[in-house]
A and B are shown apart, each in its own frame.
Chain A
Amino acid sequence: MILDGHKGRKRCHGCRCSQEQPSPGMTLDCLKKGQCCRIISIPSEIVRAQALRFGIAEGEIVTCREKVPAGPVVIAKNRQEIAVGRKLAQQIQVTEIPS
């Protein structure tokens, strides 16, 4: 019954890019595999500090390496890869960088 969670969540729920309103931009979970983006803002202070230690700061450019369906988004900078839980990814503001 838990596996059902995968169903119907293919679309990027909670993603502002599909909404009509003039959005403040897209969030990390909207990226497609292989897309690059610049990180605009990360929500909490603790998450920001931890991300800084891994080398992912606001203003950095990262690539989306993998997206687990309904699960974490894997982003990479140089050789460093980190997995970001989906709900957290929905709160990280980014701008897309055309590759």
Chain B
Amino acid sequence: MPACHKCHQQVNIPSGARKIVLAGNPNTGKSVFFNYLTGMYVDVSNYPGTTLEIYSGRLDSDVVIDTPGVYGISSFNDEERIARDIILSADLVLNIVSAAHLERDLFLTQQIIDTGVPVIVALNMMDDARKSGIAVDVARLSELLGVPVIPTVAVKKEGLDRVKAELFTARPGHATPGLAEDLAQLVNRVDTLGEALLILEGDPVIAARHGCEPGTRQEEIYRRRRERVNEIYRQVVRETSRGAGFGTILGRWMLRPLTGIPILFLALWTMYEAIGVFIAGTVVGITEETVMQGIYEPAVRQFVGLLIPQSSVPGAILVGEFGLLTMTVTYLFGLLMPLVAGFYFFLSLFEDSGYLPRIATLVDRLLTAIGLNGRGVIPLILGFGCVTMATITTRLLSSERERLIAIFLLGLTIPCSAQLGVIAGMLAGLGPQYITLYVLVIFGVLVMAGTLLTTLLPGEPAHLLIDLPPLRLPRLDNVLKKTATKSFHFLREAAPLFALGALLISIFQVTGILTFLQNTLAPVTVGWLNLPREAATAFIMGIVRRDFGAAGLTALELNPLQTVVALITITLFVPCIASILVIFKERTKKEAALIWGSSLAAAFLIGGLTAQLARFFNPGGENLPVAPVMLAFAALTAAVVGLCLLVRRFRPTTNFPG
């Protein structure tokens, strides 16, 4: 069915418009080019059957489409499949290449050129290349590739105007030697050279679309392409200096456990001080109490009071205890927004500096114990920003087994930024021993859940093979822009859910269902968790979003023990509605339901266990005997891990040779 590839176009293309496709390796600055070319009006569409977002926009009468950053196009993962389909349907490709990383990036460039599409290359990050002692002969590079090459420094807007002006000088370049003869036999059976190439390279999807057998020559073609790229690299790159700059030295330190672990802790501690102490304390004190509760809420109450009595049912729903215009707005803008922005600021710093793959390398050994490889740390860290987003990024993991483990751990143990901000703020007031207990319990659950999963699921953790980009100082304007974009996405996603949750709780309150639920859940909240019965409200709110639930806890009078128990329970609680919807999309219904149910069970089990242990070690006392509870938890974790190791030892495994 040769016509079938047309159905993979998901972006609306007006007739006569040309499709300009941006392509490049990860972190080459594609988004800056995209924003420059398309301006403010950007369409976001989901690729069919996936949750990956594709950005498209207009340049005069033509359409510009962004693609996910990839190292090559084939069927290794979803991102490559999408990039492949969009590139194959392009009228011209603007390939963004990092001048500091030519040896790696030119492989994709050459592969795109081999598909026969007209290409123009933006040689980006020229300043980084110069700084690290690399000189590139741009004219020679253009001559060897056979396509125009324009040097740029996108973040400083250098060369962008030239790229825009010369976009349509893009032309088909020089293919890998020998390829033309190989493709000649195939090309009359399919529509384009690009499809013929991918079939020859053994791409099963493209081959199936044309009813052909996938070729078996991927490795041979890759090898020839690599040789050609190496030759081009030799001819155009001159090293002007080879001294190890501070970035290189720091990059090494980050990999060595002796220095890397303290650096990691320093980074996390800085984050905690900035978000947990400064933002959650000082900033939220101003935004929530002074601004929202001090000025905004009385004003809105007064205004609504002019129209309808506050004690009426609509009045209670709008401006009551859980009011749509009072509590929802205060939590969203006064409490959560500053915390979320703080987190995204740090995550953007981590992303832009090249620190994340180094953390992945440092912790690889530890993560294999919970069934992931080092790469798995990236979604787990991003989960501290937003679990929903992180669930989507698990696509970068190489096997289904790892994706399932990562998604489960994200849903169960990783608190998202908004929630963590509230938690950090509440814990900071209690003292270091309670913080340690909280961290230990959550970490223990992560270890236990991961070890259990990797023992129960068939297979072995996939191997780590990860690119370590040069460490660089992030640009503040870029980091701030990312922070603003992501914070805005948070608002857009969270606001309707918050409103829904508040509406639900208000209706429960005015109808008396809330008291009924509080009484029904009392054996769990009061008997098992030792919390006041009003805590049930927070858990009901937590079903909508865990951060909403955590925010609900701030309104309760709790002693230190109760605070820690409540926070542990709400952290392990079910993933928010947005996350669980994404999990349903990404996994099977059965797995998603299992993740939801077991999170609920684990939350009450572990939270209650902490409360009961405390009661056991210190009957009647209000204060938590921290040390024995911690010891008991460490022992439990050790027991579970030990049991799993024992099971694995006696299970036949598909072991490696040697």
B is bound to A: yes
Interface residues of A (CB under 8 A from B): 1-3, 5-6, 14, 16, 27, 45-55, 57, 65-66, 68-72, 74, 77-88, 90-91
Q: Are A91 and B657 in contact, CB atoms less than 8 angstroms apart?
A: yes
Q: Are A68 and B365 in contact, CB atoms less than 8 angstroms apart?
A: yes
Q: Are B463 and A87 in contact, CB atoms less than 8 angstroms apart?
A: yes
- Enumerate chain A residues within 8 angstroms of B269, measured Cβ to Cβ: none
Query: Taking A82-B466, A85-B463, A85-B464 as contacts, is the C-beta distance between A72 and B364 under 8 angstroms?
Result: yes
- Enumerate chain A residues within 8 angstroms of B27, measured Cβ to Cβ: none
Interface residues of B (CB under 8 A from A): 71-72, 74, 76, 100-101, 103-104, 107-108, 132, 134, 218-219, 222-223, 225-226, 229-230, 233, 252, 255-257, 357, 360-362, 364-366, 368-369, 373-374, 447, 463-468, 470, 637-638, 641-642, 656-658
Task: With CB as the reference atom, state the residue of chain A lying closest to B464.
Answer: A85
- Enumerate chain B residues within 8 angstroms of A6, measured Cβ to Cβ: 257, 365
List 5 additional contacts besides A55-B103, A68-B364; criterion CB under 8 Å.
A2-B366, A74-B255, A79-B103, A83-B360, A91-B656
- Enumerate chain A residues within 8 angstroms of B373, measured Cβ to Cβ: 85
Q: Are A84 and B132 in contact, CB atoms less than 8 angstroms apart?
A: no
- Enumerate chain B residues within 8 angstroms of A16, measured Cβ to Cβ: 658
Q: Are A68 and B468 in contact, CB atoms less than 8 angstroms apart?
A: no
Q: Are B103 and A83 in contact, CB atoms less than 8 angstroms apart?
A: no
Q: Would you mind naming 19 contact pairs between A and B with Cβ atoms under 8 Å apart?
A: A1-B641, A6-B257, A27-B658, A45-B219, A52-B225, A55-B230, A66-B252, A68-B361, A68-B362, A71-B361, A72-B374, A74-B468, A83-B360, A83-B374, A83-B465, A83-B466, A84-B465, A85-B374, A91-B658
Q: Are A54 and B71 in contact, CB atoms less than 8 angstroms apart?
A: yes
Q: Are A68 and B257 in contact, CB atoms less than 8 angstroms apart?
A: yes
Query: Taking A46-B76, A68-B364, A83-B357 as contacts, is the C-beta distance between A55 and B104 under 8 angstroms?
Result: yes
A90 to B658 CA separation, bound complex (whole angstroms): 8
Q: Are A2 and B369 in contact, CB atoms less than 8 angstroms apart?
A: yes
Query: Taking A16-B658, A53-B104 as contacts, is the C-beta distance between A68 and B464 under 8 angstroms?
Result: no
Q: Are A79 and B101 in contact, CB atoms less than 8 angstroms apart?
A: yes
A52 to B219 CA separation, bound complex (whole angstroms): 9
Q: Are A2 and B467 in contact, CB atoms less than 8 angstroms apart?
A: no
Cross-interface CB contact of B468 among A2, A50, A81, A88, cutoff 8 Å: A81
A9 to B319 CA separation, bound complex (whole angstroms): 63
Q: Are B218 and A49 in contact, CB atoms less than 8 angstroms apart?
A: yes
Q: Are A2 and B447 in contact, CB atoms less than 8 angstroms apart?
A: yes
Cross-interface CB contact of B365 among A5, A66, A81, cutoff 8 Å: A5
- Enumerate chain B residues within 8 angstroms of A78, measured Cβ to Cβ: 103, 233
Q: Are A83 and B464 in contact, CB atoms less than 8 angstroms apart?
A: yes
Task: With CB as the reference atom, state the residue of chain B lying closest to A85.
Answer: B464
A31 to B107 CA separation, bound complex (whole angstroms): 27
Task: With CB as the reference atom, state the residue of chain B lying closest to A45.
Answer: B219
Cross-interface CB contact of A82 among B132, B229, B465, cutoff 8 Å: B465
Taking the closest CB of chain A, its distance from the CB of B233, in whole angstroms, is: 8
- Enumerate chain A residues within 8 angstroms of B132, measured Cβ to Cβ: 79
Task: With CB as the reference atom, state the residue of chain A lying closest to B229.
Answer: A55
Query: Taking A2-B447, A85-B364, A91-B658 as contacts, is the C-beta distance between A55 and B226 under 8 angstroms?
Result: yes
Taking the closest CB of chain B, its distance from the CB of A30, in whole angstroms, is: 11
Q: Are B463 and A83 in contact, CB atoms less than 8 angstroms apart?
A: no
Task: With CB as the reference atom, state the residue of chain A lying closest to B641.
Answer: A1
Task: With CB as the reference atom, state the residue of chain A lying closest to B645.
Answer: A1
A82 to B280 CA separation, bound complex (whole angstroms): 39
Q: Are B468 and A82 in contact, CB atoms less than 8 angstroms apart?
A: yes
A6 to B103 CA separation, bound complex (whole angstroms): 34
Query: Taking A69-B257, A79-B100 as contacts, is the C-beta distance between A49 and B222 under 8 angstroms?
Result: yes
- Enumerate chain A residues within 8 angstroms of B447, measured Cβ to Cβ: 2
Q: Are A88 and B104 in contact, CB atoms less than 8 angstroms apart?
A: no
Q: Are A80 and B107 in contact, CB atoms less than 8 angstroms apart?
A: no
- Enumerate chain A residues within 8 angstroms of B641, measured Cβ to Cβ: 1-2
